[in-house]
Amino acid sequence: MKIRKAVFPVAGLGTRVLPATKAMPKEMLTIVDRPLIQYVFDEAKEAGIEHFVFVTGRNKTAIEDHFDRMYELDATLAARGKKTEMEILARDQPEAGAVSFTRQQSPLGLGHAVWCARDIVGDEPFAVVLPDELVLNKPGCLAQMIAAASELPEKANVLAVQEVPADQTHQYGICGVGKRDGKMFEVDGMVEKPAKGTAPSNFSITGRYILQPEIFKILATQERGAGGEIQLTDAMIGLSKTQKFYGVEFEGERHDCGSKSGFLRANIAFAMARPDLRDGLREDMKKYLAD
């Protein structure tokens, strides 16, 4: 199964981290020295994605600017001999024509955002990557999923899953566990934020999906679900009646950067993974932990 395109839903308002996101897209908040959106872009690029589709909304032009060239900056860096900085910018620059942007005019949920990308994706399997969630690992989460998908039937769908404490299952989309083969298993049912004590397992569906294009037909008529939004999980439940879903337990440390505490933890984790920052940060943290 060849996965060439990835959809990045980036139209959300980022209300959990206000006021930081009042005038700045949450996807442009930085983890160490790179915006969130760059991390997931790099993850998709590492996985072999060739076309990157961003579903944006109002006040998200900074994301488009980030993936564009800034001739004034390039000229200034060149004049000052900043070769390292120029190399970093060149490395992060997408190839011409590899990035597309489309608008989600109304905040109708993740399922609706994915549906907005239908004409760009076309009739082929694709990935969905949520920028709120980062996975600290090499190879990245999406690369692990695509490797697993290569062993599955052409019309299979793949979900990145991770165990969560049983008393937290009501906060996530949860999948049931069927026939298992190592780190991969057949998904036996899905439910979005089940009531406490009713979850079919403690495997949460994380922010990485590989989906077949038939999902778009279901999303086109999908009724609103939890939170009054068009839920992607509800559409996947509908698709599971005719196509198989598989869960892949990925390797890596998952960080929910959509919350303030998760965002702070991610900054620490990613900084500690950097040899150029680790030692100094460790010493600084000792000072605060001693109080």
For the stretch 41-84, pLDDT in tens is: 999 999 999 999 999 988 888 999 999 888 898 899 888 988 88
Return d(Cα 90, Cα 72) in angstroms, integer. Answer: 14
Calculate mean pLDDT across residues 201-228.
88
Q: What CATH architecture does domain 5-159+208-289 belong to?
A: Alpha-Beta Complex (3.90)
User: Quick one: pLDDT band at residue 153, thresholds 50, 70, 90?
Assistant: confident
Hey, is 211 helix, strand or coil? strand
Residue 100: Cβ within 10 Å count: 16
Domains of the chain, by residue range, sit at: 5-159+208-289
Residue 155 is which amino acid?
K
Calculate mean pLDDT across residues 231-249.
92
Beta bridge partners of 256: 133
The upper half-sphere exposure of residue 1, i.e. CA atoms within 13 Å in the direction of its Cβ, equals: 26
How high is the pLDDT of residue 144? 95
Instruction: Examine the pLDDT at 27 and tell me if it is beyond 70.
Output: yes
Beta bridge partners of 6: 52, 127
What single DSSP character describes residue 182?
Answer: T
How high is the pLDDT of residue 246? 95
Return d(Cα 48, Cα 146) in angstroms, integer. Answer: 9
Tokens of 209: 């999906």
